[in-house]
Structures are given as C-alpha cells and as structure tokens.
Amino acid sequence: MKGGLAAQITVLHQMLEEGTAFDGTILLTCVADEEAFLKGAHHLAEKHPRADLFVMAEAHYDNVVVGADGKALLTLNLTGKGGHAARPESGINAVISMGRLLGEMDRVWTKHYEEGECGSWAPLRIWSDYPGYSLNIPDRCHVLLNKQLNIGEDAEDFITGTQQLCPAECPPISVAYPRF
C-alpha cells in the first residue's frame, strides 16, 4: 500500500499547504499487515480512536477486506484421454474432469479460506484444446486461476494440495505460470 499511503500523506500535506480550514481531529494510521490478518487495524479499532477526517486509500469504500501477502497466477493443465463423442466411455473428458477438480477445490479451499486458514482463490478462465466442431472428446483442459497468499502460505503448498484433489481417472495436474 505504498501508493495508498503516499496518497493519504499527499492529501494531508495539500490541506496544510492550502491552509484548508478544518476544525477537527485528523488521524493518519498505518499498519504493516494490511494484506494479511489486519492485526494492526483490529488493535486500532479496539482503542476506538475518534477522527473527523478519514482518507480511504483503497477503493473498497465501507467494506473491510482482508487481503493477502502476495498472489500467484497459475495455469492448471489436466490431461484426460481422447475418444469419440458417440462413445464417451471410450475416453476421459478432460473438461468434465476439470469441472470435478474445480468442484473439489471449491469444497476444500473455500472452506479453508472461510475459516481464515488461507487466502482466497478464484478461477478466471477455463478452456480446452478443442479444435472446433468435431466429435472428439477433449483430452486436455486448462484453467487460469488467481491464488491470494496469506503470510506463511506459498503457491507450492496450494499446488501440491490441489494435485491431491485430482479426479482418480486422471493423472495429476501440471502447473505453469503464464507469461503475458
């Protein structure tokens, strides 16, 4: 939040420079764990400080948002087994398997997130290597996802845990960090 802090200080500095008439209490607070568990903010709230001016540095308005210590943008790649759509049992549809994996991730990772044990995760895009209209069962499926990382959490642990959730009929997922 270096940018947010700079914006807050700039507003206060500008008020002083311009001699803005203000009859009240201005409180500038800075906490170092804004993207984790907000211990500093919770401590401050318990002290019940009063102020007449508040400069919001982040566009969440009146919603308190717990952030993260970083993030990982990952592409999960799942391989099934090609087959003919007229006989779906002849293959392993990677799109269906990815759907099962995402459902299992939602069941497991969302629970951990809601209990404050890890940062949030969100699928951003899903696609297969389906070439257009054909009767082939897609044998590969990919999902781009964002994983927020809390303090003490790393992307590798998330990947390992996710690989363990893979549907039994498919090999473990491979992971790539996309390039832009």
Q: What is the pLDDT of residue 88?
A: 87
What is the pLDDT confidence band of residue 67, given thresholds at 50, 70 and 90?
very low
pTM, whole model, 2 decimals? 0.62
What is the pLDDT confidence band of residue 17, given thresholds at 50, 70 and 90?
very high
Domains and CATH numbers, the chain: 1-67 (no CATH), 70-176 (3.30.70.360)
**Regarding predicted confidence, which is higher, 29 or 160?**
160
Task: Tell me how far apart the alpha carbons of residues 49 and 169 are, in angstroms, rounded to a whole number.
Answer: 57
Q: Is the pLDDT of residue 143 over 90?
A: yes
Q: What is the pLDDT of residue 24?
A: 84
Q: Is the pLDDT of residue 35 over 60?
A: no
Task: Tell me how far apart the alpha carbons of residues 126 and 75 are, in angstroms, rounded to a whole number.
Answer: 9
Take residue 151 and report the two structure tokens written for it: 């303090």
Q: What is the pLDDT of residue 103?
A: 95
What is the per-residue DSSP string for the chain?
A: -HHHHHHHHHHHHHHHHHT----S-B-----TTTTTT-HHHHHHHHH----SB----STTTT------SEEEEEEEEEE-B-EETTSGGGSB-HHHHHHHHHHHHHHHHHHHHHTTSS--EEEEEEEE---SS-SEEP-EEEEEEEEEE-TT--HHHHHHHHHTTS-TTSPPPEEE----
Task: Work out the number of other CB atoms within 10 angstroms of the CB of residue 16.
Answer: 10
Mean pLDDT value across residues 97-122: 92
